[in-house]
Copies of this chain bind each other. A is one copy, B any other.
Amino acid sequence: MQNKNMLMIPGPTPVPESVLLAMAQHPIGHRGQDFNQIISEISQNLKWLHQTKEDVLMLTASGTGAMEAAIINFLSSGDSVLIGNNGKFGERWVNVARAFGLKVDEIRAEWGEPLDPEMFKDKLMNDKSKKIKAVIVTHSETSTGVLNDLETINKYTKEHGEALIIVDAVTSLGTVNLPIDKWELDVVASGAQKGYMIPPGLGFVSVSQKAWKAYQNSNLPKFYLDLGAYKKAINNNSFPFTPPVNLIYGLQIALRIMKAEGLAQMFTRHQKLAQATRIAIKTLGLNLLATDESASYAITAVSSSKIDITNICYVMKEKFNIILAAGQDHMKGKIFRIGHLGFICERDILTTITCLETTLQLLGDTSIVSGKAVSEALKFLP
């Protein structure tokens, strides 16, 4: 059935109708006072969402553009960086850093496993000459549904004293507590089509005072993603280059929706949705890629030893119009991923579980007890 699709992928995520309708307004000039006022409101609310007093800069770019900006503004050619790589987006950090001539030392873990903070500790403690200029970590690894222990890795980075901590919070911002100022995170990158509940097209970067000092010494070439220009402009509630005006309309509304819910409530909601999803998956006899201890609240990755993953996704789409995300790279055909971040409520999880249960039955899984997965999930959705 056309137009009946339900997005349960980790981005783009569903968008509230009030946001969509805001985006359907005629654009206004981005150099006028009316627009400045919108930016003024958004800037304040972005600081609230990021739990920071510093400016959060907005780029006309997808998340990868924000990640690139997070590197090229604060580092120089030949700088040594320590990058956590346990999935597609950790790998992307490595690729971006190498493209700009950084010396990359990787801390690796298998896809589905969390990064081991102690491995960061070893490298950082042994760096007596303070060669490591930045520790770069993906908080919630979208490709596997693993939440890395950023708090502990950051603690060791702080003990090192020199290195910046640069974070991909693309699927963690708004889904799990990320107190940027309290933890003194230096650079945090994120993207619109995730917890923000708006369509893709905007990247965000928060920058600490320590990072701005590093900016002064960065020699990597930049113009479009030169955050100094964005910082200067945002002080006047403006942009150095034309911003995506209609997406900004949507962001204004989405941030109001978030503020009305409250940070603590947002985090609790995502936690519950993740827990309900996970127990339902287990009850259905499917396998969770990430352990309970390292599970992201935003995404659940699922494998199966009994039913072909590709068939599950196919039936979910064709029969129920529910879109799940496939595995990426070598995980293709081995896992599917359920996105449950942003504009997702309890009903969406129950719907997904119910349809997944029926899908498995249709695919010949006789072990399923009808209704059991939903009733288990409900234990986490009081």
Could you list which residues of chain A lie within 8 angstroms of chain B, going by C-beta atoms? Answer: 5, 7, 9, 11-12, 14-15, 20-21, 23-32, 60-65, 67-68, 95-96, 99-101, 191, 193, 199-201, 220-226, 240-247, 323, 325-326
**Which one of B199, B222, B223 contacts A244 once the chains associate, using CB atoms below 8 Å?**
B199
**Which one of B15, B28, B223 contacts A12 once the chains associate, using CB atoms below 8 Å?**
B28
**Which one of B96, B199, B220, B241 contacts A65 once the chains associate, using CB atoms below 8 Å?**
B241
Q: Which 4 A-B pairs have the closest CB atoms?
A: A201-B244, A24-B24, A12-B27, A199-B246
Q: Is the CB of B63 within 8 A of A242?
A: yes
Q: Contacts A11-B242, A23-B24: A201 and B60 contacting too (C-beta < 8 A)? A: yes
Q: Is the CB of B64 within 8 A of A241?
A: yes
Q: Is the CB of A30 within 8 A of B221?
A: no
A21 neighbours in B (Cβ, 8 Å)? 24
Bound complex: CA A246 to CA B99 (Å):
30
**A111 → B minimal CB distance (Å):** 18
Q: Is the CB of A323 within 8 A of B200?
A: no
Q: Is the CB of B24 within 8 A of A242?
A: no
A220 neighbours in B (Cβ, 8 Å)? 221
For A201, the closest partner residue in chain B by CB is B244
**A13 → B minimal CB distance (Å):** 8
Q: Is the CB of A245 within 8 A of B30?
A: no
A326 neighbours in B (Cβ, 8 Å)? 31
A28 neighbours in B (Cβ, 8 Å)? 5, 7, 12, 323
**Which one of B7, B221, B242 contacts A26 once the chains associate, using CB atoms below 8 Å?**
B7
Q: Is the CB of A12 within 8 A of B29?
A: yes
A67 neighbours in B (Cβ, 8 Å)? 224
Q: Is the CB of B325 within 8 A of A29?
A: yes
Q: Is the CB of A14 within 8 A of B29?
A: no
**A312 → B minimal CB distance (Å):** 16
Q: Contacts A221-B100, A223-B100: A244 and B200 contacting too (C-beta < 8 A)? A: yes
**A230 → B minimal CB distance (Å):** 12
**A158 → B minimal CB distance (Å):** 28
Bound complex: CA A244 to CA B247 (Å):
9
Bound complex: CA A27 to CA B23 (Å):
12
Further contacts, 16 of them, CB under 8 A, given A63-B241, A65-B224? A7-B29, A11-B242, A23-B246, A29-B325, A32-B323, A60-B200, A62-B244, A99-B222, A99-B223, A99-B226, A100-B221, A199-B246, A200-B242, A200-B244, A224-B225, A244-B244
Bound complex: CA A128 to CA B62 (Å):
43
Q: Contacts A31-B326, A191-B242, A199-B244: A61 and B61 contacting too (C-beta < 8 A)? A: yes
Bound complex: CA A365 to CA B68 (Å):
54
**Which one of B12, B61, B245, B325 contacts A245 once the chains associate, using CB atoms below 8 Å?**
B12
Bound complex: CA A32 to CA B5 (Å):
12
A62 neighbours in B (Cβ, 8 Å)? 60, 241-244
Q: Contacts A9-B29, A224-B61: A199 and B245 contacting too (C-beta < 8 A)? A: yes
Bound complex: CA A154 to CA B101 (Å):
35
